[in-house]
Amino acid sequence: MNTQTLPGFVTAHLGQAVGAYYDRTADLYAQLWGDDIHLGYWDAGERPATAADRRPATERLIRELVGFAGIAPGSRVLDVGCGHGGPALYLAGRLGCEIDGITLSGEQVGRATARAAEEGLSGRTGFRVADVLGGGIAEGAYDVVWAMESLMHIPDRPAFFEVALRALRPGGVLALNTWAVREGPLDAAESDLVRRILHNQVLPSLDSIEAHRRMAEAAGFAQVRTADWTIQTAGSWDLDFAQLEQPAGGRAHMMQLARQRGAEVLRFFAAVPLMHKGFTTGVVTCGALTAVKPGAAR
Ligand SMILES: C[S@@+](CC[C@H](N)C(=O)[O-])C[C@H]1O[C@@H](n2cnc3c(N)ncnc32)[C@H](O)[C@@H]1O
């Protein structure tokens, strides 16, 4: 098992910091990345060509997780960390799922709600500000708990798996993908890279994919399966694809935004080359996990 952690003083108010980060960068994400705030997925050997390749690749990641976890059409879904509603609107629109989406960012709730209305999906989707560990998640109410690239922000991961288990009906499915760290010890340079990534991406720690499996099993999940999608998602951090070279208005505009809004904006831009290095060296990984709540046939 491998776990890399930021010092406690950085994580003391993590929920507020994550919410502020996504509030202050919501328009940048929408402008530069679209409304899927997660990695793209490519076959081995494929690479992104232009920024126009982003949406097909990020939608592919959603389809891969749907397939990996076997999400059934019409499922009642708790979407933990719904972002701008990209995955939620896919699940509602293509699979007829009913979505209860939560996020730490009010800006994201506004965008997700507006997009649902534009796409005629308001009747099957709801979005609100809530911390998954803050209490108030309905118990036994969901067929699926879906967490696309949100678990890496959550400081108490064993508690997340316990909340997810309680939220599901017996036979319900957990489906997630998350950033992780390579199994085994890291050298000093690798540890320093991870520490900078944690700081810039507002993450409390990174665990290995195998550590996630153990946490799911310890919480009481059955049929736990994991997959390593690092190679398939690494192209997400290609510098052109991430549009790092062309933040709207160039570097001067970026610095002006940082002065107006604070450090979150600089973190958004600083993180891309660090993640590129993390993924290409295999120090930072992307893991998928699915599991079933025992007690009934799926
Ligand atoms: C990288 S974004 C992913 C957004 C979305 N899942 C997607 O794929 O487009 C991370 C999301 O996790 C949410 N998040 C982080 N920690 C959370 C927590 N403790 N409770 C609820 N949401 C959380 C953030 O607010 C944000 O919406």
Nearest CA to ligand 1 atom 11: 81
> Which of the four pLDDT bands, split at 50, 70 and 90, describes residue 131?
very high
Which burial class, exposed, middle or buried, applies to 5 when counting CB atoms under 10 A from its CB (0-12, 13-18, 19+)?
Answer: middle
Residue 120's CATH number: 3.40.50.150
Q: Is residue 297 part of a domain?
A: no
Q: Is residue 177 part of a domain?
A: yes
- Given a cut of 80, whether residue 290 has pLDDT beyond it is yes
Whole-angstrom distance, CA of residue 198 vs CA of residue 57: 25
Q: How many domains does the chain have?
A: 1
Q: How far is CA 84 from CA 37, 54, 126, in A?
A: 7, 15, 12
Our answer on whether the CB atom of 164 is closer than 6 Å to any ligand 1 atom is no
Our answer on whether the CB atom of 133 is closer than 6 Å to any ligand 1 atom is yes
Cβ proximity of 79 and 87 under 8 Å = yes
Our answer on whether the CB atom of 83 is closer than 6 Å to any ligand 1 atom is yes
Question: Which residues lie closer than 8 Å to 117 by C-beta, 6 or more apart?
Answer: none
Q: Is residue 298 part of a domain?
A: no
Q: Which of 25-34, 80-89, 270-279, 287-296 has the lowest mean pLDDT?
A: 25-34
In percent, the amount of the chain with pLDDT more than 70 equals 90
pLDDT of residue 12: 59
- Given a cut of 60, whether residue 260 has pLDDT beyond it is yes
pLDDT of residue 251: 66
> Which of the four pLDDT bands, split at 50, 70 and 90, describes residue 9?
very low
> Which of the four pLDDT bands, split at 50, 70 and 90, describes residue 297?
low
pLDDT tens, residue by residue, 190-236: 999 999 999 989 999 999 999 999 999 999 999 999 999 999 999 99
pLDDT of residue 46: 83
pLDDT of residue 268: 73
> Could you list the residue range(s) of the whole structural domain that residue 162 is in?
3-292
Report the separation in Å between the CA atom of 81 and the middle of ligand 1, taken as the mean of its atom positions: 3
Q: How far is CA 214 from CA 144, 168, 211, 229, in A?
A: 20, 19, 5, 18
Cβ proximity of 291 and 164 under 8 Å = no
